[in-house]
Amino acid sequence: MWQPAPNASALPTQPITGLAPALQNASYKVQSGVAAIEFALTIILVLMIFFGIIAFGTLFWVQQKVSDLAAEGARYALVQSSTMASGNAAAEAGCTHVKDLASQDAILKALIGGAVDAGFCTGSEQACPGGANSCAQIAISTPVVVNSWPLLNAVQGIASLFDNGSALFPSSLSSTATIQILSES
């Protein structure tokens, strides 16, 4: 049968001392390293999560930087279109401007693995949808070199223990910006 809990004041207020001193010391010695082991396992998990957040934050930041470079190249192409004979020449000028900006950025150069090569940016003139004007398109595509970032490389190494670590990060980052070039008519 169920009985209600005894009154709290009826409980003994002194610790139970029925164990022999040898048993008390033995249980204390067994428990002495448990907290250190629990801390070690927990801190590893917390650091993995922390470094993963930083790694993905870095990739998002670089993707934003690539998108901003494409937009800057398109804006530059628009400004140059008034002085150039064709929209294609303006788009190529926009790409040259983007390559100059990217080559000055040490963090972007480290992530893409060194120098900004010819395939980093392509500029072209295209027909705009729904209009007689032409459009300049700036497309940036760059491979992601994880080995040059120790933090990203460490997260990829840890992830490869559980799954294919190369599928964790994208192999390339890309962005495209298109801007309408007004005709002078």
Report the C-alpha gap between 49 and 42 in whole angstroms: 11
- Domain presence at residue 9: no
Distances (CA, A) of 17 to 13, 22, 125: 12, 12, 89
Domain extent for 30: 23-181
Higher local confidence (pLDDT), 107 or 125: 125
- Domain presence at residue 65: yes
**The pLDDT value given to residue 11:** 55
Q: Which two tokens stand for residue 6?
A: 């005894």
Q: Which two tokens stand for residue 92?
A: 């190529």
Q: Are 81 and 128 in contact (CB under 8 A)?
A: no
pLDDT band at 68 (very low <50, low <70, confident <90, very high): very high
* Count of structural domains within the chain: 1
φ, ψ (nearest 5 deg) of residue 175: -155, 150
Q: Is the predicted pLDDT of residue 116 greater than 60, yes or no?
A: yes
